[in-house]
A = this chain, B = another copy of it.
Amino acid sequence: MAGNRMGTQTIVFPRQPRLIAMHSIVGPMEGRGPMAEYFHEILPDDMLEQTTPEKAEKLILEMAIEKALNQKNLTKEHIQYYIAGDLLNQIISATFSARSLNVPYIGIYGACSSFAEGVGLAAVLLEGGFAQKVLVGTSSHYQTAERQYRYPIELNVQHKVTSQHTVTGAGAVVISIDGEGPKVTHATFGKIVDMGVKDPNDMGSAMAPAAFDTISRHLEDTGRTIDYYDLVLTGDLGLQGLKMLRILAERNNTPFGERVQDGGVLIYNQHQGVGAGGSGCACSAVITLGYVNTKMYLGELHKVLIVGTGALLNSLTALQGESIPCIAHAIALET
């Protein structure tokens, strides 16, 4: 048995696959936020001369992949699997980026938890000896997400205070059994948690219990406390979801405190008019590959738990009166 412990939800990776090459791209709005200095690339505009935002999102993901490979002079021939997902119907950004890459492709869907899900699966393939290098990529785009899940931005529909702003950007990372970079030491794949929240304009509240469940399981499985980590970074709970998560932890008599931060809260300034903060597949990807990786490289962070959070609704389930099933997948990164 390679690295798991049966009876727990958490996989241990003794071979410690590493994040060896990566690239994070964001749009102009994210480039004016407080995390700007950490991203590899800030785009001057979010359309890149494409005729539709869907084509722009695909191009941004392809750019992230190409530059991640270039960072360590890798080519697609070095990669055994490409794992990718995004928010669009039938994950078209992931698939179309896979077309240009031409390596075996494993499409995934975990909404905004897709990045963590992909890194976890990549670590499984590497730890199990099925690959030496796996590429993980994900993207999201404000315009594509708005018109698919809500309204075309041209309508200028007013957002609620709990609404979140989809991050325009993409992240790609090569994870390898050899090389230098943050080590993936554990993965805790989450269960679906649905506490009955039905408001698609408050996905933070819907997702917070899933984040709490996965973090709790991870700590229980590993015998760690929240203080073991320098940072526990949820993907995109936003202000509302992060508040809910802290309340859940306090009620459980295990207050999380300031060690738990959220990518959706960190990525924008409040004066940018983003409601409760950022969201989208790219959110946790660019914060992890930009901010967390840089801080690990600088020796300012050593142990980080990435908790990708996903609200697994679609626009039709909301209209049919269903509540929002949510999930969180956790990945432990250590130097």
Which residues in A have some Cβ–Cβ distance to B below 8 Å? Answer: 1-4, 6, 9, 11, 51-52, 54-55, 80-81, 85, 87-92, 95-96, 98-99, 101-111, 117, 121, 124-125, 127-132, 189-192, 194, 312-317, 320, 322, 325, 327
Are A192 and B325 neighbours in the complex by a CB distance under 8 Å? Answer: no
Q: Given A92-B314, A312-B92, A314-B92, decide whether A117 and B107 contact each other with a Cβ distance below 8 A.
A: yes
Chain B residues within 8 Å of A87, by CB: 90
Contacts known (A88-B314, A191-B102, A312-B90); A325 close to B124, Cβ less than 8 A: no
Known contacts A52-B320, A312-B95, A128 near B124 by CB under 8 Å: yes
Residue of B nearest to A98 (CB): B192
With beta carbons under 8 angstroms apart, the residue of B103, B131, B190 that contacts A191 is B103
Whether A130 lies near B4 (C-beta < 8 A) is yes
B2 touches A320 (CB 8 A): no
Task: Give chain B nearest CB distance to A215 CB in angstroms.
Answer: 14
| A99: contacting residue among B108, B131, B315, B325, CB under 8 A | B325
Contact at A191–B104, with CB atoms within 8 Å? yes
Q: Which of A87, A88, A312 has the most CB atoms of chain B within a 10 A radius of its CB?
A: A312
Q: Closest Cβ of chain B: how far from A267's Cβ, in Å?
A: 23
| Chain B proximity of A134: nearest CB distance (Å) | 11
Instruction: Report the minimum CB–CB distance from A186 to chain B (whole Å).
Output: 12
Inter-subunit contact B3/A130 (CB<8 Å): yes
A6, A11, A91, A104, most chain B CB atoms within 10 A: A104
